[in-house]
């Protein structure tokens, strides 16, 4: 569940960017906005599990740099500060997506805009959930 909080905006951005012409403007808007609404619901659940029950979650995906004395892993940390920052990021981003549906209605490049907007949300989630400074730098 915790990885899906990070990956759903990325998947929405990829689908809107690569298949935007086939999906159309409304399909692109629906995929990215609905993905962020799901992400907002999952972040509320994560806030209940981690923030209120004080049980932090650390996810280590793989070792990114493995040297003799230097080990950098690609991982994510969900503690009480992280989940308390997830709520405003994802909630405000969902509201911006919903507002942009009517605001960008007449623009011919709506698919690209929503792809970039979801990619921005993904990068913000990487900034908040990164386990170390190099993951934060990538975000």
pLDDT band at residue 25 using 50, 70 and 90 as cut-offs: confident
The answer to whether 100 and 113 are in contact (CB under 8 A) is: yes
Whole-structure pTM value = 0.88
Domain boundaries, the chain: 2-138
Report the C-alpha gap between 122 and 130 in whole angstroms. Answer: 12
Give the per-residue pLDDT at 118. 94
Task: Answer yes or no: is pLDDT of 50 > 80.
Answer: yes
**Given a cut of 90, is residue 125 above it in pLDDT?**
yes
Give 103-111 contacts, CB < 8 A, sequence gap 24+.
105/25, 110/25, 110/28, 110/29, 111/16, 111/17, 111/20, 111/21, 111/23, 111/24, 111/25, 111/28
């Amino acid at each position: 569940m915790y990885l899906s909080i990070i990956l759903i905006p990325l998947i929405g951005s990829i689908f809107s960017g690569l298949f935007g012409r086939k999906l159309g403007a409304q399909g692109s808007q629906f995929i990215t906005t609905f993905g962020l609404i799901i992400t907002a619901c999952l972040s509320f659940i994560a806030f209940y599990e981690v923030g209120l029950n004080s049980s932090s979650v650390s996810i280590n995906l793989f070792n990114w740099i493995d040297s003799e004395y230097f080990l950098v892993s690609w991982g994510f940390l969900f503690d009480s500060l992280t989940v308390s920052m997830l709520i405003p990021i994802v909630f405000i981003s969902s509201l911006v997506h919903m507002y942009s549906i009517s605001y960008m209605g007449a623009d011919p490049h709506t698919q690209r805009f929503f792809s970039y907007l979801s990619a921005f949300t993904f990068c913000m989630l990487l900034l908040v959930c990164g386990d170390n400074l190099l993951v934060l730098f990538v975000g």
